[in-house]
Amino acid sequence: MGNKIGRLLRNLFIILGFMIIPLGIFAGIFFSEMSDYTMYEDEVMELRLTASDLEHEFYHPTRFIPMPNGEYAIFTETVSDDYNLVEWSPETGEINNRYSIDSDTFGDSFVVYQSDDVIFVTKGDDNRVNLYQYQYGQEPTLIEHGILYNDYYLNQNSTRFGNDFFTVGSNSEGDYAALALIDGNVTITNFSQMDNIENITGIEMHPNAANYPVVKLSNFEREEFYYDLMQPDASLENFNDLSRTEIDDQYINQFTDAETFLTSTTDTIHAVNLFSPDLTLLNPDTFLLMGKTNQQANGPVRAFLLNETGEDLLMELPDSDIWIAFDGGYDPQASIVNDTLYLSTTEEAGVISLASGELVSSTGLEDFEAAIEDTVIELEQEADRLEAEGETFSLEKVQHFATQSIDGHGILWFSLLMFVIPIFGLSIVFYFMGRKRRNIKKAYANGAEIVPAKLISMKRTGVTINDNPQVRMTVEYTFRRQVKQGEVTEVIDMLQPPQVGDEFDLLYDPVRDKLFTLDE
Protein backbone atom coordinates (compact mmCIF):
# COMPACT_ATOMS: atom_id res chain seq x y z
CA MET A 1 0.00 0.00 0.00
CA GLY A 2 3.05 2.31 0.15
CA ASN A 3 4.43 4.36 2.98
CA LYS A 4 1.38 6.34 4.07
CA ILE A 5 3.23 8.39 6.69
CA GLY A 6 5.76 9.52 4.11
CA ARG A 7 2.96 10.25 1.68
CA LEU A 8 1.16 12.27 4.34
CA LEU A 9 4.27 14.32 5.07
CA ARG A 10 4.84 14.89 1.39
CA ASN A 11 1.28 16.04 0.92
CA LEU A 12 1.60 18.30 3.94
CA PHE A 13 4.73 19.94 2.51
CA ILE A 14 2.97 20.39 -0.82
CA ILE A 15 0.02 22.09 0.87
CA LEU A 16 2.34 24.33 2.89
CA GLY A 17 4.21 25.18 -0.30
CA PHE A 18 0.97 26.16 -1.98
CA MET A 19 0.30 28.42 1.01
CA ILE A 20 3.68 30.08 1.46
CA ILE A 21 4.73 30.64 -2.16
CA PRO A 22 1.56 32.51 -3.25
CA LEU A 23 1.61 34.51 -0.04
CA GLY A 24 5.20 35.53 -0.73
CA ILE A 25 4.35 36.50 -4.30
CA PHE A 26 1.31 38.53 -3.27
CA ALA A 27 3.23 40.15 -0.41
CA GLY A 28 5.76 41.36 -2.98
CA ILE A 29 2.98 42.68 -5.22
CA PHE A 30 1.25 44.29 -2.23
CA PHE A 31 4.29 46.23 -1.06
CA SER A 32 5.28 47.14 -4.64
CA GLU A 33 1.86 48.68 -5.26
CA MET A 34 1.87 50.32 -1.85
CA SER A 35 5.14 52.12 -2.58
CA ASP A 36 3.28 54.31 -5.12
CA TYR A 37 0.28 54.79 -2.84
CA THR A 38 -0.40 58.03 -0.94
CA MET A 39 -2.22 57.18 2.26
CA TYR A 40 -4.24 60.43 2.43
CA GLU A 41 -4.80 60.88 -1.29
CA ASP A 42 -8.52 61.65 -0.96
CA GLU A 43 -7.98 63.97 1.99
CA VAL A 44 -5.18 65.80 0.17
CA MET A 45 -7.34 66.21 -2.93
CA GLU A 46 -10.23 67.52 -0.83
CA LEU A 47 -7.96 70.07 0.88
CA ARG A 48 -6.51 71.27 -2.43
CA LEU A 49 -9.97 71.53 -4.02
CA THR A 50 -11.20 73.54 -1.04
CA ALA A 51 -8.20 75.85 -1.32
CA SER A 52 -8.84 76.27 -5.04
CA ASP A 53 -12.51 77.04 -4.36
CA LEU A 54 -11.53 79.70 -1.85
CA GLU A 55 -9.21 81.32 -4.35
CA HIS A 56 -11.58 81.26 -7.31
CA GLU A 57 -15.15 80.74 -6.14
CA PHE A 58 -15.22 83.73 -3.75
CA TYR A 59 -14.60 85.88 -6.76
CA HIS A 60 -16.41 89.06 -5.77
CA PRO A 61 -18.23 89.93 -2.52
CA THR A 62 -21.48 91.78 -3.27
CA ARG A 63 -22.63 92.52 0.29
CA PHE A 64 -21.27 92.23 3.83
CA ILE A 65 -24.03 91.52 6.37
CA PRO A 66 -23.52 91.86 10.14
CA MET A 67 -25.60 89.22 11.92
CA PRO A 68 -27.47 89.57 15.24
CA ASN A 69 -25.21 86.93 16.85
CA GLY A 70 -22.08 89.02 16.22
CA GLU A 71 -20.77 87.08 13.21
CA TYR A 72 -20.90 88.11 9.55
CA ALA A 73 -22.42 86.69 6.38
CA ILE A 74 -21.19 87.67 2.92
CA PHE A 75 -22.83 87.39 -0.47
CA THR A 76 -20.18 86.37 -3.01
CA GLU A 77 -20.27 86.01 -6.77
CA THR A 78 -18.33 83.10 -8.28
CA VAL A 79 -16.40 82.93 -11.54
CA SER A 80 -19.33 80.95 -12.96
CA ASP A 81 -21.77 83.77 -12.03
CA ASP A 82 -23.31 81.73 -9.23
CA TYR A 83 -23.98 83.27 -5.84
CA ASN A 84 -23.14 81.97 -2.38
CA LEU A 85 -23.84 83.08 1.15
CA VAL A 86 -20.64 82.62 3.13
CA GLU A 87 -20.48 82.54 6.92
CA TRP A 88 -17.41 84.20 8.34
CA SER A 89 -16.09 84.94 11.81
CA PRO A 90 -13.74 87.97 11.61
CA GLU A 91 -12.58 87.37 15.20
CA THR A 92 -11.17 83.92 14.39
CA GLY A 93 -10.78 84.37 10.64
CA GLU A 94 -12.66 81.14 10.04
CA ILE A 95 -14.84 80.69 6.95
CA ASN A 96 -17.42 78.29 8.34
CA ASN A 97 -20.17 77.45 5.86
CA ARG A 98 -21.22 78.24 2.32
CA TYR A 99 -24.75 78.11 0.92
CA SER A 100 -25.92 78.42 -2.69
CA ILE A 101 -28.34 81.31 -3.30
CA ASP A 102 -30.65 81.83 -6.26
CA SER A 103 -29.72 85.26 -7.63
CA ASP A 104 -29.47 86.88 -11.04
CA THR A 105 -26.14 88.06 -12.47
CA PHE A 106 -26.44 91.50 -10.83
CA GLY A 107 -26.46 90.06 -7.30
CA ASP A 108 -28.67 92.78 -5.77
CA SER A 109 -30.00 92.00 -2.31
CA PHE A 110 -31.97 93.55 0.52
CA VAL A 111 -31.65 92.60 4.19
CA VAL A 112 -34.42 92.90 6.78
CA TYR A 113 -33.39 92.34 10.41
CA GLN A 114 -35.34 90.49 13.07
CA SER A 115 -34.43 89.73 16.68
CA ASP A 116 -32.36 86.57 16.09
CA ASP A 117 -32.15 86.24 12.32
CA VAL A 118 -32.59 88.11 9.05
CA ILE A 119 -34.74 87.88 5.96
CA PHE A 120 -32.87 88.67 2.78
CA VAL A 121 -34.33 89.24 -0.65
CA THR A 122 -32.82 88.36 -4.03
CA LYS A 123 -34.04 88.13 -7.59
CA GLY A 124 -33.49 84.72 -9.20
CA ASP A 125 -32.34 83.94 -12.72
CA ASP A 126 -35.99 83.63 -13.75
CA ASN A 127 -36.70 87.14 -12.33
CA ARG A 128 -38.66 85.66 -9.44
CA VAL A 129 -38.41 87.53 -6.15
CA ASN A 130 -36.97 85.20 -3.47
CA LEU A 131 -37.35 85.72 0.27
CA TYR A 132 -34.95 83.71 2.46
CA GLN A 133 -35.22 83.21 6.22
CA TYR A 134 -31.70 82.93 7.57
CA GLN A 135 -30.12 82.33 10.96
CA TYR A 136 -26.35 82.12 11.25
CA GLY A 137 -25.15 78.51 11.20
CA GLN A 138 -28.27 77.21 9.44
CA GLU A 139 -28.98 76.88 5.75
CA PRO A 140 -31.25 79.68 4.45
CA THR A 141 -34.81 78.54 3.71
CA LEU A 142 -37.14 80.02 1.12
CA ILE A 143 -40.26 81.68 2.51
CA GLU A 144 -43.33 80.49 0.66
CA HIS A 145 -45.35 83.35 -0.79
CA GLY A 146 -47.28 84.14 -3.92
CA ILE A 147 -45.06 84.22 -7.00
CA LEU A 148 -43.89 87.70 -7.98
CA TYR A 149 -41.59 88.53 -10.90
CA ASN A 150 -39.46 91.66 -11.17
CA ASP A 151 -38.35 92.42 -14.73
CA TYR A 152 -36.03 95.26 -13.69
CA TYR A 153 -33.05 95.57 -11.39
CA LEU A 154 -34.15 94.53 -7.92
CA ASN A 155 -33.00 97.80 -6.34
CA GLN A 156 -34.86 99.89 -8.94
CA ASN A 157 -38.32 98.62 -8.11
CA SER A 158 -37.80 97.80 -4.43
CA THR A 159 -37.35 99.76 -1.24
CA ARG A 160 -36.75 99.38 2.49
CA PHE A 161 -38.67 101.62 4.83
CA GLY A 162 -37.50 101.26 8.37
CA ASN A 163 -37.03 97.53 8.74
CA ASP A 164 -39.69 96.54 6.20
CA PHE A 165 -39.28 95.61 2.54
CA PHE A 166 -41.44 96.37 -0.51
CA THR A 167 -41.22 95.54 -4.21
CA VAL A 168 -43.46 95.55 -7.27
CA GLY A 169 -43.78 93.41 -10.38
CA SER A 170 -46.15 90.87 -11.90
CA ASN A 171 -47.43 87.45 -10.84
CA SER A 172 -47.51 84.22 -12.86
CA GLU A 173 -50.76 85.32 -14.57
CA GLY A 174 -49.22 88.63 -15.65
CA ASP A 175 -51.21 90.70 -13.14
CA TYR A 176 -49.49 93.78 -11.72
CA ALA A 177 -48.86 93.31 -8.00
CA ALA A 178 -46.83 94.50 -5.02
CA LEU A 179 -45.14 92.47 -2.26
CA ALA A 180 -44.88 93.89 1.25
CA LEU A 181 -42.77 92.34 4.03
CA ILE A 182 -43.89 94.11 7.21
CA ASP A 183 -42.84 92.83 10.65
CA GLY A 184 -41.84 89.52 9.06
CA ASN A 185 -45.25 88.97 7.43
CA VAL A 186 -45.67 88.82 3.65
CA THR A 187 -48.69 90.23 1.82
CA ILE A 188 -49.24 90.59 -1.92
CA THR A 189 -51.59 93.20 -3.38
CA ASN A 190 -52.95 92.42 -6.86
CA PHE A 191 -53.79 95.74 -8.56
CA SER A 192 -55.00 94.12 -11.80
CA GLN A 193 -57.88 92.53 -9.89
CA MET A 194 -59.13 95.84 -8.42
CA ASP A 195 -62.41 97.08 -9.88
CA ASN A 196 -61.63 100.79 -10.00
CA ILE A 197 -58.31 100.45 -11.87
CA GLU A 198 -58.48 99.19 -15.44
CA ASN A 199 -56.07 98.65 -18.30
CA ILE A 200 -52.90 98.96 -16.17
CA THR A 201 -49.81 99.23 -18.37
CA GLY A 202 -47.04 99.86 -15.83
CA ILE A 203 -46.05 99.66 -12.18
CA GLU A 204 -43.11 101.05 -10.20
CA MET A 205 -42.08 102.35 -6.81
CA HIS A 206 -42.65 106.11 -6.98
CA PRO A 207 -39.27 107.70 -7.83
CA ASN A 208 -39.87 110.89 -5.79
CA ALA A 209 -40.91 109.15 -2.59
CA ALA A 210 -37.34 108.39 -1.48
CA ASN A 211 -37.63 105.01 0.28
CA TYR A 212 -41.22 105.41 1.44
CA PRO A 213 -43.28 102.57 -0.18
CA VAL A 214 -45.58 104.38 -2.62
CA VAL A 215 -46.63 102.44 -5.72
CA LYS A 216 -47.12 104.36 -8.94
CA LEU A 217 -49.39 102.78 -11.60
CA SER A 218 -50.28 103.98 -15.10
CA ASN A 219 -52.86 102.89 -17.70
CA PHE A 220 -53.63 103.18 -21.40
CA GLU A 221 -55.20 106.62 -20.83
CA ARG A 222 -51.89 107.81 -19.31
CA GLU A 223 -53.56 108.30 -15.98
CA GLU A 224 -51.54 107.77 -12.81
CA PHE A 225 -52.56 106.04 -9.60
CA TYR A 226 -50.78 105.99 -6.25
CA TYR A 227 -51.05 103.48 -3.44
CA ASP A 228 -49.53 103.58 0.04
CA LEU A 229 -48.19 100.08 0.89
CA MET A 230 -47.78 101.03 4.54
CA GLN A 231 -51.60 100.89 4.79
CA PRO A 232 -52.43 97.63 2.95
CA ASP A 233 -55.80 97.29 4.75
CA ALA A 234 -57.03 100.77 3.79
CA SER A 235 -59.96 101.19 1.43
CA LEU A 236 -59.50 101.85 -2.26
CA GLU A 237 -60.32 105.48 -1.63
CA ASN A 238 -56.73 105.88 -0.54
CA PHE A 239 -55.93 106.06 -4.24
CA ASN A 240 -55.42 109.62 -5.38
CA ASP A 241 -57.91 111.24 -7.67
CA LEU A 242 -57.30 110.21 -11.28
CA SER A 243 -56.55 113.76 -12.36
CA ARG A 244 -53.84 114.33 -9.76
CA THR A 245 -50.20 113.96 -10.71
CA GLU A 246 -48.58 114.79 -7.40
CA ILE A 247 -48.54 112.97 -4.08
CA ASP A 248 -49.58 115.03 -1.08
CA ASP A 249 -49.85 112.31 1.52
CA GLN A 250 -48.39 113.61 4.74
CA TYR A 251 -45.88 110.77 4.99
CA ILE A 252 -44.73 111.16 1.40
CA ASN A 253 -44.33 114.91 1.77
CA GLN A 254 -42.26 114.29 4.85
CA PHE A 255 -39.89 111.80 3.23
CA THR A 256 -40.10 112.77 -0.43
CA ASP A 257 -37.25 114.86 -1.82
CA ALA A 258 -33.89 114.53 -0.08
CA GLU A 259 -32.82 117.98 -1.26
CA THR A 260 -35.89 119.61 0.27
CA PHE A 261 -35.27 117.85 3.57
CA LEU A 262 -31.60 118.74 3.55
CA THR A 263 -32.59 122.39 3.18
CA SER A 264 -34.53 122.14 6.40
CA THR A 265 -31.47 120.76 8.20
CA THR A 266 -29.11 123.51 7.04
CA ASP A 267 -28.44 124.75 10.54
CA THR A 268 -27.64 121.25 11.76
CA ILE A 269 -25.30 120.58 8.82
CA HIS A 270 -23.50 123.89 9.31
CA ALA A 271 -23.18 123.18 13.00
CA VAL A 272 -21.26 119.96 12.35
CA ASN A 273 -19.43 121.42 9.31
CA LEU A 274 -20.30 118.79 6.69
CA PHE A 275 -19.64 118.88 2.96
CA SER A 276 -21.70 116.94 0.36
CA PRO A 277 -24.20 115.74 3.01
CA ASP A 278 -26.39 112.70 2.39
CA LEU A 279 -29.45 111.39 4.21
CA THR A 280 -30.69 107.85 4.76
CA LEU A 281 -34.05 107.14 6.37
CA LEU A 282 -33.67 104.51 9.10
CA ASN A 283 -37.24 104.60 10.44
CA PRO A 284 -40.08 107.16 10.60
CA ASP A 285 -38.36 108.82 13.58
CA THR A 286 -34.67 108.70 12.65
CA PHE A 287 -32.42 109.81 9.81
CA LEU A 288 -28.77 108.96 9.22
CA LEU A 289 -26.80 112.05 8.14
CA MET A 290 -23.36 111.64 6.60
CA GLY A 291 -20.93 114.06 5.03
CA LYS A 292 -17.27 114.77 4.43
CA THR A 293 -15.27 116.95 6.78
CA ASN A 294 -13.58 118.70 3.83
CA GLN A 295 -14.16 119.20 0.13
CA GLN A 296 -11.76 116.47 -0.99
CA ALA A 297 -13.35 113.54 -2.78
CA ASN A 298 -11.67 111.02 -0.48
CA GLY A 299 -11.93 113.10 2.66
CA PRO A 300 -12.97 111.66 6.05
CA VAL A 301 -16.69 111.04 6.60
CA ARG A 302 -18.66 111.79 9.76
CA ALA A 303 -22.08 110.38 10.60
CA PHE A 304 -24.92 111.49 12.85
CA LEU A 305 -28.42 110.47 13.81
CA LEU A 306 -31.14 113.12 13.38
CA ASN A 307 -34.74 113.16 14.45
CA GLU A 308 -37.62 113.12 11.94
CA THR A 309 -37.61 116.91 11.52
CA GLY A 310 -33.86 117.17 11.11
CA GLU A 311 -33.68 119.87 13.75
CA ASP A 312 -32.35 117.74 16.60
CA LEU A 313 -28.96 116.01 16.53
CA LEU A 314 -29.54 112.75 18.39
CA MET A 315 -26.04 111.29 18.35
CA GLU A 316 -22.70 111.49 16.61
CA LEU A 317 -21.70 108.01 15.53
CA PRO A 318 -18.15 106.69 16.11
CA ASP A 319 -15.46 107.11 13.44
CA SER A 320 -15.06 104.11 11.17
CA ASP A 321 -14.04 103.16 7.63
CA ILE A 322 -17.64 102.02 7.25
CA TRP A 323 -18.75 105.60 6.60
CA ILE A 324 -16.46 105.99 3.61
CA ALA A 325 -17.91 102.81 2.06
CA PHE A 326 -21.41 103.82 3.14
CA ASP A 327 -21.08 107.31 1.68
CA GLY A 328 -19.62 106.28 -1.67
CA GLY A 329 -20.54 102.60 -1.93
CA TYR A 330 -23.18 100.89 -4.02
CA ASP A 331 -26.61 100.36 -2.41
CA PRO A 332 -25.71 100.83 1.28
CA GLN A 333 -28.30 99.62 3.78
CA ALA A 334 -28.81 100.50 7.44
CA SER A 335 -31.24 99.13 10.02
CA ILE A 336 -32.03 99.82 13.66
CA VAL A 337 -33.14 96.78 15.68
CA ASN A 338 -33.16 96.48 19.49
CA ASP A 339 -31.20 99.72 19.93
CA THR A 340 -28.51 98.46 17.57
CA LEU A 341 -27.53 99.99 14.22
CA TYR A 342 -26.57 97.46 11.53
CA LEU A 343 -24.63 98.82 8.53
CA SER A 344 -24.20 96.83 5.32
CA THR A 345 -22.40 97.69 2.06
CA THR A 346 -20.54 95.90 -0.71
CA GLU A 347 -17.15 96.57 0.91
CA GLU A 348 -17.67 97.23 4.63
CA ALA A 349 -20.10 96.30 7.40
CA GLY A 350 -20.40 97.04 11.08
CA VAL A 351 -22.53 97.15 14.20
CA ILE A 352 -22.98 100.18 16.47
CA SER A 353 -24.62 100.09 19.90
CA LEU A 354 -26.94 103.09 20.15
CA ALA A 355 -27.12 102.61 23.92
CA SER A 356 -23.38 103.16 24.39
CA GLY A 357 -22.60 104.95 21.13
CA GLU A 358 -19.69 102.56 20.57
CA LEU A 359 -18.65 100.56 17.53
CA VAL A 360 -19.26 96.93 18.49
CA SER A 361 -17.57 95.36 15.48
CA SER A 362 -16.69 96.05 11.89
CA THR A 363 -15.05 94.29 8.99
CA GLY A 364 -14.72 94.54 5.26
CA LEU A 365 -13.25 93.43 1.99
CA GLU A 366 -9.61 93.81 3.06
CA ASP A 367 -10.11 91.61 6.14
CA PHE A 368 -12.07 89.03 4.15
CA GLU A 369 -9.47 88.75 1.39
CA ALA A 370 -6.71 88.40 4.02
CA ALA A 371 -8.72 85.65 5.74
CA ILE A 372 -9.14 83.81 2.45
CA GLU A 373 -5.41 84.07 1.73
CA ASP A 374 -4.52 82.80 5.22
CA THR A 375 -7.02 79.96 4.94
CA VAL A 376 -5.67 78.94 1.53
CA ILE A 377 -2.11 78.86 2.91
CA GLU A 378 -3.23 76.75 5.89
CA LEU A 379 -5.08 74.30 3.64
CA GLU A 380 -2.11 73.94 1.30
CA GLN A 381 0.27 73.40 4.23
CA GLU A 382 -2.01 70.76 5.70
CA ALA A 383 -2.27 69.09 2.28
CA ASP A 384 1.55 69.06 1.96
CA ARG A 385 1.90 67.58 5.47
CA LEU A 386 -0.61 64.81 4.80
CA GLU A 387 0.93 64.08 1.41
CA ALA A 388 4.42 63.68 2.91
CA GLU A 389 3.07 61.56 5.78
CA GLY A 390 1.06 59.45 3.34
CA GLU A 391 4.13 58.62 1.25
CA THR A 392 6.20 57.47 4.26
CA PHE A 393 6.18 53.73 5.06
CA SER A 394 4.39 52.85 8.29
CA LEU A 395 2.12 50.19 9.71
CA GLU A 396 -0.69 52.72 9.47
CA LYS A 397 -0.01 53.06 5.74
CA VAL A 398 -0.09 49.26 5.33
CA GLN A 399 -3.46 49.12 7.10
CA HIS A 400 -4.77 52.12 5.13
CA PHE A 401 -3.70 50.64 1.79
CA ALA A 402 -5.27 47.29 2.66
CA THR A 403 -8.58 48.74 3.87
CA GLN A 404 -9.05 51.96 1.87
CA SER A 405 -7.41 51.34 -1.54
CA ILE A 406 -9.17 49.39 -4.29
CA ASP A 407 -5.83 47.84 -5.36
CA GLY A 408 -5.01 46.98 -1.77
CA HIS A 409 -8.46 45.44 -1.32
CA GLY A 410 -8.01 43.24 -4.40
CA ILE A 411 -4.52 42.03 -3.50
CA LEU A 412 -5.45 41.39 0.12
CA TRP A 413 -8.58 39.42 -0.65
CA PHE A 414 -6.92 37.40 -3.41
CA SER A 415 -3.97 36.51 -1.19
CA LEU A 416 -6.33 35.60 1.63
CA LEU A 417 -8.21 33.41 -0.80
CA MET A 418 -4.97 31.68 -1.83
CA PHE A 419 -4.24 31.17 1.85
CA VAL A 420 -7.69 29.90 2.77
CA ILE A 421 -7.98 27.35 -0.05
CA PRO A 422 -4.95 25.27 1.09
CA ILE A 423 -6.06 25.60 4.71
CA PHE A 424 -9.46 24.34 3.67
CA GLY A 425 -7.89 21.45 1.78
CA LEU A 426 -5.63 20.61 4.72
CA SER A 427 -8.64 20.71 7.03
CA ILE A 428 -10.45 18.21 4.83
CA VAL A 429 -7.41 15.89 4.85
CA PHE A 430 -7.13 16.03 8.62
CA TYR A 431 -10.86 15.53 8.94
CA PHE A 432 -10.80 12.33 6.92
CA MET A 433 -7.64 11.15 8.67
CA GLY A 434 -9.34 11.71 12.00
CA ARG A 435 -12.45 10.02 10.72
CA LYS A 436 -10.45 6.96 9.70
CA ARG A 437 -8.80 6.77 13.10
CA ARG A 438 -12.20 7.00 14.76
CA ASN A 439 -13.55 4.24 12.52
CA ILE A 440 -10.60 1.97 13.31
CA LYS A 441 -10.96 2.66 17.02
CA LYS A 442 -14.64 1.79 16.82
CA ALA A 443 -13.87 -1.32 14.82
CA TYR A 444 -11.54 -2.60 17.55
CA ALA A 445 -14.29 -1.92 20.06
CA ASN A 446 -16.57 -4.09 17.90
CA GLY A 447 -14.06 -6.97 18.05
CA ALA A 448 -12.30 -6.29 14.78
CA GLU A 449 -9.43 -8.48 13.70
CA ILE A 450 -6.56 -8.08 11.25
CA VAL A 451 -7.19 -10.37 8.31
CA PRO A 452 -5.00 -11.39 5.35
CA ALA A 453 -6.41 -10.20 2.05
CA LYS A 454 -5.60 -10.57 -1.65
CA LEU A 455 -6.41 -7.99 -4.34
CA ILE A 456 -8.82 -9.41 -6.92
CA SER A 457 -9.64 -6.25 -8.90
CA MET A 458 -9.74 -2.47 -8.61
CA LYS A 459 -11.58 0.40 -10.30
CA ARG A 460 -11.11 4.14 -10.21
CA THR A 461 -13.76 6.19 -8.41
CA GLY A 462 -13.03 9.37 -10.41
CA VAL A 463 -11.56 11.20 -7.41
CA THR A 464 -7.96 12.40 -7.54
CA ILE A 465 -6.00 13.73 -4.57
CA ASN A 466 -2.59 15.34 -5.24
CA ASP A 467 -2.53 13.63 -8.68
CA ASN A 468 -3.02 10.25 -7.03
CA PRO A 469 -6.21 8.40 -7.95
CA GLN A 470 -8.71 7.01 -5.51
CA VAL A 471 -9.67 3.39 -6.33
CA ARG A 472 -12.27 0.90 -5.11
CA MET A 473 -10.52 -2.46 -4.56
CA THR A 474 -12.27 -5.81 -4.46
CA VAL A 475 -10.42 -8.18 -2.12
CA GLU A 476 -10.70 -11.69 -0.87
CA TYR A 477 -10.02 -12.17 2.85
CA THR A 478 -10.33 -14.87 5.51
CA PHE A 479 -12.08 -14.16 8.80
CA ARG A 480 -12.20 -16.96 11.38
CA ARG A 481 -11.50 -19.57 8.70
CA GLN A 482 -14.27 -18.25 6.51
CA VAL A 483 -13.31 -16.87 3.08
CA LYS A 484 -15.17 -13.69 2.11
CA GLN A 485 -15.09 -10.91 -0.47
CA GLY A 486 -15.42 -7.22 0.21
CA GLU A 487 -14.50 -3.76 -0.99
CA VAL A 488 -12.24 -1.07 0.38
CA THR A 489 -11.56 2.45 -0.99
CA GLU A 490 -8.06 3.85 -0.92
CA VAL A 491 -5.90 6.54 -2.57
CA ILE A 492 -2.97 4.77 -4.19
CA ASP A 493 0.48 5.93 -5.17
CA MET A 494 0.49 6.40 -8.93
CA LEU A 495 4.19 5.56 -9.07
CA GLN A 496 3.79 2.33 -7.09
CA PRO A 497 0.26 1.09 -7.73
CA PRO A 498 -0.89 -2.22 -6.22
CA GLN A 499 -1.27 -5.16 -8.59
CA VAL A 500 -3.95 -7.85 -8.81
CA GLY A 501 -2.79 -10.77 -6.67
CA ASP A 502 -0.96 -8.59 -4.16
CA GLU A 503 -1.48 -9.65 -0.59
CA PHE A 504 -1.78 -7.27 2.38
CA ASP A 505 -3.47 -7.06 5.74
CA LEU A 506 -6.82 -5.32 6.37
CA LEU A 507 -8.88 -4.68 9.47
CA TYR A 508 -12.31 -6.31 9.47
CA ASP A 509 -15.18 -5.03 11.67
CA PRO A 510 -17.63 -7.95 12.12
CA VAL A 511 -20.38 -5.75 13.56
CA ARG A 512 -20.47 -3.34 10.63
CA ASP A 513 -19.17 -5.94 8.14
CA LYS A 514 -16.65 -3.44 6.86
CA LEU A 515 -12.98 -3.45 5.85
CA PHE A 516 -10.41 -0.77 6.69
CA THR A 517 -6.86 -0.31 5.44
CA LEU A 518 -4.04 -0.22 7.98
CA ASP A 519 -1.23 2.36 8.16
CA GLU A 520 2.18 0.77 7.89
Does 119 score more than 90 pLDDT?
yes
Q: Are 236 and 194 in contact (CB under 8 A)?
A: yes
Poorest-confidence range of 30-44, 183-197, 325-339, 440-454?
30-44
- What pLDDT shows up at residue 240? 47
User: Nearest to residue 334, comparing CAs of 347, 320, 349?
Assistant: 349
Indicate the range of 134-143, 203-212, 228-237, 501-510 predicted with least confidence.
228-237
What's the number of CA atoms in the CB half-sphere (13 Å) around residue 331?
Answer: 18
Distance CA 371, CA 377 (A): 10
Amino acid code (one letter) for 371: A
What DSSP string describes 241-259? PTT--S---HHHHHHS-HH
* The amino acid at 306: L
pTM over 0.75: no
Q: Name which residue leads in pLDDT, 514 or 24.
A: 514
3-class SS of residue 289 = strand
Is the distance from CB of 408 to CB of 29 less than 8 angstroms? no
Tell me which of 270 and 460 has the higher pLDDT: 460
Q: Mind listing the pLDDT tens digit for each residue in 275-320?
A: 777 777 787 788 888 888 877 767 788 888 988 777 788 888 998 8
Query: DSSP character for 233?
Result: T
**The pLDDT value given to residue 360:** 94
Closest residue by Cα to residue 323 from 297, 345, 353? 345
CB 474, CB 487: distance < 8 Å: yes
> Cα separation of 123 and 400, whole Å?
48
Exposed, middle or buried, 158 (CB in 10 Å: 0-12/13-18/19+)? buried
CB-neighbour burial class of residue 487 (10 A; exposed 0-12, middle 13-18, buried 19+): middle
Which of 17, 10, 7 lies closest to 419 in space, CA to CA? 17
pLDDT of residue 476: 92
What 3-state DSSP class applies to 426?
helix
Helix (H) or strand (E) holding 421: helix 406-445
Of 129, 148, 62, the C-alpha closest to 329 is: 62
Question: Which residues pair with residue 112 across a beta bridge?
Answer: 119
